[in-house]
Amino acid sequence: MKASRLLTGQALLQSDAEWVVRTQLLAESLSGLVATHAQRVTGRGLDVGCQDGHLTDYLNAHTGFSWEGIDPALTGISRSPHGATLYQAAADSIPYADRAFDCLLFANVFEHVSPQGRDASLAEMCRVLRPGGTVIGQLPNPYFPIESHSRLPFMGWLTPELQKKYWRYSPASSAHRFDFYSVTLHHLRTAAKRSGLRVVETRNFNYPPEALPSAVRSAASLLKWPMKVFPWSWQFVLTRPE
């Protein structure tokens, strides 16, 4: 039964409590990068792909910057649970003036940008970032044995056509659309260079056992050392040169 649940991805669906821990650890990690790399000049930050704004709220509470958010899935202007302003907008059409922000967050979003929109999205992010400002982000490793969006084995290794067919077997398919692409740090670096952004730092990132579904924690412990080399995701820091 356990093997069957793992093969179908069911064992990688987190409980509500495990999801809260995962979100908290992600927020802490990304906020740490903001604290290390972002310098306060305008005092403003923008969460690109903010969803409902929970991470935006955490950034407002812990980084010393004033954060707003944008997400194409929103309807008009809305508010996060703690009152941050959120706009309906995508990364390639950010409704702010040039050089408006010290820092942008771009966490688990790049893989949802179409190949045709990658250069335009990063160029637009560069536009609204002041010279010397930073982009802090995270990118899931599509070639990790269990792909993070579908929870299916080796999804990221397939062609886009086969991925769409395989998606119907995903335990997440009823709650999420198939709207992601297999992209790596190479794709990010290439698009960043063309947009005028410079890669400052990349690092591997894996969630600790307490953030994982209980059914796979023992397996994750066994894979601890291989995952240092071949991680679940990468975190990155980009900057707009002075």
Q: What is the CATH number of the domain that holds 122?
A: 3.40.50.150
- Residues 165-192: pLDDT tens digits? 999 988 887 777 899 999 999 999 999 9
The answer to the question of residue 157 being in a domain is no
User: Does position 10 have pLDDT exceeding 80, yes or no?
Assistant: no
Tell me, what DSSP letter sits at residue 93? S
The answer to the question of residue 201 being in a domain is yes
User: Does position 3 have pLDDT exceeding 50, yes or no?
Assistant: no
User: Does position 17 have pLDDT exceeding 80, yes or no?
Assistant: no
Owning domain of residue 93: 23-29+42-142+181-239
* Cα separation, 128 vs 125, whole angstroms: 5
Mean pLDDT computed over 199-209: 89
The answer to the question of residue 172 being in a domain is no
Q: Of 195, 184, 211, 173, which is closest to residue 125 (Cα–Cα)?
A: 195
The answer to the question of residue 161 being in a domain is no
Count how many domains the chain has. 1
The answer to the question of residue 7 being in a domain is no
pLDDT computed for residue 167 by the predictor: 93
The answer to the question of residue 194 being in a domain is yes
pLDDT computed for residue 180 by the predictor: 93
Of the given ranges (94-103, 119-128, 132-141, 147-156), which has the lowest mean pLDDT? 147-156
The answer to the question of residue 14 being in a domain is no
**pLDDT band, residue 220 (cuts 50/70/90):** low
* Cα separation, 55 vs 149, whole angstroms: 19
Kindly calculate the radius of gyration of the chain based on its CA atoms and give it in whole angstroms: 18
The answer to the question of residue 149 being in a domain is no
| DSSP SS3 for 216 | helix
pLDDT computed for residue 1 by the predictor: 39
The number of residues in the chain equals 242
